Amino acid sequence: MSEIIAGASGPVTYADAGVNIDAGNEAVLRMKQHIRSTFTPGVLADVGSFGAMFALDTAGAREPVLVASVDGVGTKLKVAQMMNKHDTIGRDLVWHCVNDILVQGARPLFFLDYFGTGKLEPHVAADVVKGLSEGCRAVNCALIGGETAEMPGMYQEGEYDLVGSIVGIVDRGKILDGSRVAPGDVLIGIASDGLHTNGYSLARHVLFAHAGLTVDRFLPELNMTLGEALLAPHRCYAPALLPILASGQFDIHAMAHITGGGFYDNIPRALPADCQAIVERRSWIPAPIFQLIQKQGNVPDSEMYRTFNMGVGMVLIVPSEQGRELVHYLNSVGEQAALIGIVQRGSHEVQVL
């Protein structure tokens, strides 16, 4: 017969295994005020319910279509953890997701998040949720639910992961799918506020591992510390673009959110199969952080434009006769916009010249 090996005397608790239920409860208490501050009239369940409920108001939409997306912040989390600054990373996540559904014409309705860590620090989780809440409030989006998971052994000390899912709505007749894009249309680029949430693995490799810089190093060419530049928030374009989409003031044919894959992978997602985009990179000057990465790592141009947004976070495709007027309008409402290219007949690709 097999013999049962005797363990330690005395009862074993969940806390002994590394999961602190009390810390989880404390984290929820710290989060509640932030979460509730995002509630819109459609929210039907309070914080802590088993499932989030949202009453969909379809007024004004003849054929309402729900648009959903899920994403993470990537290794920008590493920079936040290196700086012990956690109150902006949640905003990054929300605004990344808002932009992703915005390019199809959708306005956000509600958001859910996942926060996973090896050892739960309630103040860290609360700071992350504070950022999530600020991002949601800015675009009238409800933070209606989420998951906070403490999983010993899954993460290194001080590490956590953050993922979010968004749901928005658009009228079927106003969906932007690129089908109306045609040769002769022009590309408008709207400025980013830094790396946003993409390319951080390459940036960290070049700046930290290769160049030996640290997050607290003040760099005159950036006029701030390296960590501050790398944590610059992911800009949200909804406040400027949703009113245009609602009013029909301009005829936007398509939009592309410049995230992972840079120009080469994202702009084609907004093009018909028989069209290509020609981007003239002399139309704008990339922000100093991109110049620093390229110089320190001797990174080829093609790699930079495939990895980073290079200072352009959103691209609009519009009829040529509306290009200059829309650029003027966007600049008048606080964006930095410029004509950066043109659509031609071609093989569904992007050329950066």
CATH code, 221: 3.90.650.10
Residue 6 belongs to a domain: no
Instruction: Say what the pLDDT of residue 191 is.
Output: 98
Residue 209 belongs to a domain: yes
Mean pLDDT, the chain, integer: 92
Strand partners, 71: 164
Domain boundary among 145, 174, 203: 174
**Number of domains the chain contains:** 2
Residue 326 belongs to a domain: yes
Q: Are residues 77 and 128 in the same domain?
A: yes
Write the CB contacts of 234 (distance below 8 Å, at least 6 apart in sequence). Answer: 91, 92, 93, 95, 96, 99, 193, 196, 197, 313
- Give the mean model confidence (pLDDT) for residues 54-83: 92
Instruction: Say what the pLDDT of residue 49 is.
Output: 81
Q: Are residues 124 and 45 in the same domain?
A: yes
Domain boundary among 112, 145, 174: 174
Instruction: Say what the pLDDT of residue 4 is.
Output: 54
Q: Are residues 74 and 147 in the same domain?
A: yes
Q: What's the CA angle centered on 253, arms 248 and 255, to 5 degrees? A: 105
Residue 219 belongs to a domain: yes
Residue 23 reports pLDDT greater than 90: no
Q: Are residues 240 and 105 in the same domain?
A: no
d(CA 191, CA 111): 25
Residue type, 350: V
Q: Are residues 168 and 190 in the same domain?
A: no
Of 173, 170, 172, 120, the closest CA to residue 148 belongs to 120
Residue 7 belongs to a domain: no
Domain boundary among 128, 150, 174: 174
- Per-residue model confidence as pLDDT tens digits over 77-125: 999 999 999 999 999 999 999 999 999 999 999 999 999 999 999 899 9
CATH code, 68: 3.30.1330.10
Which residue would you say has higher pLDDT here, 348 or 24? 348
Q: Are residues 257 and 126 in the same domain?
A: no
- Per-residue model confidence as pLDDT tens digits over 174-218: 999 999 999 999 999 999 999 999 999 999 999 999 999 999 999
Instruction: Say what the pLDDT of residue 181 is.
Output: 97
Q: Are residues 297 and 162 in the same domain?
A: no
Residue 129 belongs to a domain: yes
Q: Are residues 163 and 195 in the same domain?
A: no
Q: Are residues 166 and 21 in the same domain?
A: yes
- Per-residue model confidence as pLDDT tens digits over 305-339: 999 999 999 999 999 999 999 999 999 999 999 99
Residue 9 belongs to a domain: no
Q: Give the lowest-confidence range in 23-37, 54-68, 80-94, 189-203.
A: 23-37
Residue 3 reports pLDDT greater than 70: no
3-state helix/strand/coil string of 96-135: HHHHHHHCCCCEEEEEEEEEEECCCCHHHHHHHHHHHHHH
Instruction: Say what the pLDDT of residue 9 is.
Output: 60
DSSP 8-class letter at 43? B
Q: Are residues 249 and 115 in the same domain?
A: no
Place 58 in a pLDDT band, splitting at 50, 70 and 90: confident
Residue 246 belongs to a domain: yes
Residue 8 reports pLDDT greater than 60: no
What is the four-CA torsion angle of 43, 44, 48, 51, rounded to 10 degrees? -100
- Per-residue model confidence as pLDDT tens digits over 221-235: 999 999 999 999 999
Instruction: Say what the pLDDT of residue 1 is.
Output: 46
- Domain coverage including residue 198: 186-352
Q: Are residues 95 and 217 in the same domain?
A: no
Q: Are residues 61 and 126 in the same domain?
A: yes
